[in-house]
Amino acid sequence: MNITVIIAASLRTFTNRTPEVRLQADTVREALQALTDEYPEAARGLYDENGDLRDFVSIYVGDRDIRSLKGLRTELQEGDEIYLIPAIAGGACESVISTERMKAVTIEEKEIRRYSNHLQLKELSIKGQKRIMAGHVLVAGIGALGGVVAERLAAAGVGTIGLADAETVTPESLQTQTIHSTRDVDRPRVSSAKDRLKKLNPQVTAVVHQEKLTADNIEDILADYDIVVDASDNFVSRYLINDACVLQEKPEVFGAMYQTEGYVTVLGGKDSPCLRCLYPSPPPVGIVPTCSASGVVNTLPGILGAMMATEVIKLLTGNGEPLIGRMLTVDIWNLRYHMVHTAKDSGCAVCGTSPSIRAVQDMDYEDFCGLREDPNEEPIGSIDPEELARRLENNEAITIVDVREPHERAIHKFPGTLIIPIGQLARRQKELDPGIDTVFVCKEGKRSILAIRTLREAGYTGPMLTLKGGFDAAAQIIFPNEGAWL
């Protein structure tokens, strides 16, 4: 059969940036085999060390998850499209706002003028707007996505908006995080966002949670909210928020983005799968880069954030068809939208029929996401940017391997390095000198750890170090005059 495999942007590092591949195959298994025959490096992204399909990759034929079909044995028809959708992160519903809470809200004359666009809509009208005004919504992560969601919700009139974030505003974030301005640089993101929301709509209450969400505090923070918006940017927060929402029976509006693509869905409700149903475990560290390490076109958060805010409004009012049991994937660069169906997993660890997770304290989320070092594993050495600069200045024997993507190197060059993509390290290890230190460089210092582990698995025994903080930390130290930039 002639079929097409459509590859999400975060997996294209394994296919030479190819977005789709046309192949001959009769089953999904044959299609994946043909794909890895053409792009051998794709096997590392799709399969684990035991040859099993990785949990963080979902495969759809059309809009159906192969797990609801025959798995890898699913038969294909002429012209079928297979979607490879990794974790990055329908039907009508009842309002999460009770009738009593809705009736307790009054709309004053000035509010009638402010919310007149909603009041004129038969889908919302007065009852819908009153439910919006009665709503309490927590936005976790006040970056690019979360900022858009918070602004849209404030403009809509959501009564209480919680802002949970522990980061500060940085200059490089301003292009995508438009809730913040130049004057907010170095301020806490929650403080900047609160000021913006109060200017946008003084009638909205903005509650600040300037702290990292953890297993110790998340239950208390979530307790006061009706809906949680997950706009975080790391897998520890993703799974922590998911589990807490399931355990507290709160719906979660989930959004994730990467470069020019993104996903939006509703998780954790009574009839909706949770994140673990879709992705039982996260990808190994470094396999899927974050948007901060790979960039994102600045219009994408506006599109996805508006969609996420719309899902919140549907849940608050009980109108429309929320993305319950469905996930919308968006590729704005190729103008491709695709809806896939999702389903609860009866064997899910947190929302299945026999859950093993009954409290967030049951989980070590750092360990689950591969961020806690195995005491039995050989530790990974590191080098500070200052020490690397000193060794370079003294012309000491050292090999520097740059594992960044081509577009990253085009912006910030690192002269004198050996350029080897992670997927090529095993077969190109003979280019390294095991008699001297090899330092691995990526943008933030995470993919370099994956590079070292990859070479260890391949049998390389030479000394290897990761550059602490990656190129971001080293640029102003090693290249203080920015001579190597652009």
The residues assigned a catalytic role are 291, 442
d(CA 297, CA 251): 28
d(CA 237, CA 143): 14
Buried b (16+ CB within 10 A) or exposed e, 38-47: ebebbbbbbe
Give the H or E element holding residue 64: strand 64-65
Residue 304, CA distances (Å) to 23, 185, 223, 237, 397 in order: 31, 24, 26, 19, 48
Residue 310, CA distances (Å) to 151, 165, 319, 329, 344 in order: 12, 22, 11, 16, 23
Torsion of CA 140, 145, 151, 155, to 10 degrees: -100
Residue 435, CA distances (Å) to 293, 394, 453, 458, 461 in order: 31, 18, 18, 17, 9
467 Cβ contact list (under 8 Å, min separation 6) = 382, 383, 385, 388, 439, 440, 441, 442, 445, 448, 473, 474
Beta strands in 302-380 (DSSP E): 326-331, 336-341
Which amino acid, residue 114?
Answer: R
d(CA 325, CA 90): 5
Order of strands across the sheet with 418-419? Answer: 381-383, 464-467, 438-441, 399-402, 418-419
Closest among 197, 173, 457, 161 to 301, alpha carbons compared: 173
